[in-house]
Amino acid sequence: MNKHFRDSRYYLARAAEHARLGVTESLETPLARARALLGREPDPEPEPSRLEEAVADATALEHRAATRVRGGIGSVRARVTVGRSSEADDDR
């Protein structure tokens, strides 16, 4: 019986969270219109911190390195394939 109560509580919490998200989403447009009429602009997004910038730079560097490695591996594979096919021709 306790299992059923836990399940019910879980689904009730999920339903409440989804209802909150739905109400927030549906009120975004009227809230933005009211702010515009009152002359209050929404708060600007905060600038990224030094840590966030460093993480973004490291992620971009990692992506560039991975792209270069993939390109290098592709060219090595092409050379090996050409080399193997010429060796197979020499064996005949």
The three-point CA angle 16-42-54 to 5° equals 90
Rounded CA-CA distance 62/57 in Å is 9
Residues 54 and 75 in one domain: yes
Q: What is the pLDDT of residues 3-26, one digit of tens each?
A: 888 899 999 999 999 999 999 999
Structural domain range at position 29: 1-44
Residues 39 and 73 in one domain: no
**pTM, full prediction:** 0.39
Residues 3 and 39 in one domain: yes
Residues 39 and 49 in one domain: no
Cβ-contact 42, 32 below 8 angstroms? yes
CB within 8 A of 13, min separation 6: which ones? Answer: none
Residues 56 and 92 in one domain: yes
How many domains does one find in the chain? 2
Residues 57 and 23 in one domain: no
Q: What is the pLDDT of residues 26-57, one digit of tens each?
A: 999 998 888 888 888 777 778 889 999 999 99
Residues 59 and 91 in one domain: yes
- What distance lies between CA 31 and its chain's CA centroid? 28
